[in-house]
Structure 1
């Protein structure tokens, strides 16, 4: 079984090359904030902003959407920063994809996570995934978790995406439950579900997190490209 043949390869590649912009124009268009060729997520969802092209004049849009002193993040495409803005490049992220299902190891029950679990999700992400998870990030897609000993031991969720591709994100495990295979089990489950829905699963991982990078490589994810990653701050 492989990814749905009807998925447009060109559209997938365009979306993956500029994932914040693509998601804000499609899957998350109903929550996008837009001005002057710039789109961003409301701060309660994610600190992410996208532009269609690195060559557009986005000064007016940035001024309208980003508060003084606020930092936002971009992946794949970044504009030339206007006067009064500081663009900082981080080490590019590894963008990885999988086009075929994975075996799902036996293990504890995987539960859909909802409003009743929000406090547990926010506590876990604050501990091990603190930089980009916000109060309403869970509203950007579906989330799943494994509970053990009455605690949220591990979780995974959906974040960016279009009709043709879907990002897996916030794949994290509480330090007390490391080494039990929870992250791999969750990743395999959601990979297979995404493929069954006719979309390409993808994820981003830092090269500075070799443990996670090796996990996805071991599961059979393909390194599609290194993708630029920046912060943009209004000063």
Structure 2
């Protein structure tokens, strides 16, 4: 697909643009600091990344790649997962009625970390919130649902950490937050996009119903340094 080709290699693209200030770089490899996200990227699959990987990935650490994987040393373990659905939204979404969403700050960090540890545990880290804006809905003093911005380029922004506490499922909070942030992103002249597992058909169908479309399936790997 020709439009927004930078989304074919989203980790690399993000680390070259909106998150260039946080990027760690060595030997043609870029990665997020571990306290932000366990993500790593290269410009193209032909890259021989041994020196960069050795410099940036600690022994026993696992990182993740999306879209493009480099040649890796024989003693590293590259595991392919099922491709993710990369979805985009090109038109404003109708917002359903519901509680007010607030912008989350460092003051809400403990609540955010507790919710993501419960329902979104794999990729959220202590400083992930610093990669973009995060919003949440509180109910009875508890963080009931949240959404945030993670990856991005000069022309697109990723919706991420879209999650709801199990005690508050069925209230439409995830839909309300997704519509709110997608519309705000569009109003800023950027394309909202997100990634969702095909093994989560409930979420996939939700995004389709509210106005996201499949842009492409995108390859996804874990890479471990033993």
Q: Same fold (TM over 0.5)?
A: yes
Q: Is the 8 A contact 2:48 2:72 kept in 1?
A: no
Where does structure 1 lack aligned partners over 5 or more consecutive residues? 1-8
In the TM superposition, 1:90-169 aligns within 5 A as 90-169=81-160
CA distance in 1, matches of 2:6, 2:123: 20
Matched, 1:221 2:187: no
In the alignment, which residue of structure 1 is the partner of 2:190? 199
The secondary structure found in structure 1 opposite 2:174 is: helix
TM-score w.r.t. the length of structure 2 is: 0.98
The secondary structure found in structure 1 opposite 2:69 is: coil
Q: Deviations over 1:56-103 (max 9, x none)?
A: 111100000001111000000001221221100000000000111011
Report deviation, 1:220. Answer: 1.4
Matched, 1:48 2:42: no
Where does structure 2 lack aligned partners over 5 or more consecutive residues? none
Matched residues, number = 226
In the alignment, which residue of structure 1 is the partner of 2:56? 65
The secondary structure found in structure 2 opposite 1:211 is: helix
The list of structure 1 runs, each at least 4 consecutive aligned residues, that deviate by more than 6 angstroms after superposition, is none
In the alignment, which residue of structure 2 is the partner of 1:189? 180
In the alignment, which residue of structure 1 is the partner of 2:14? 23
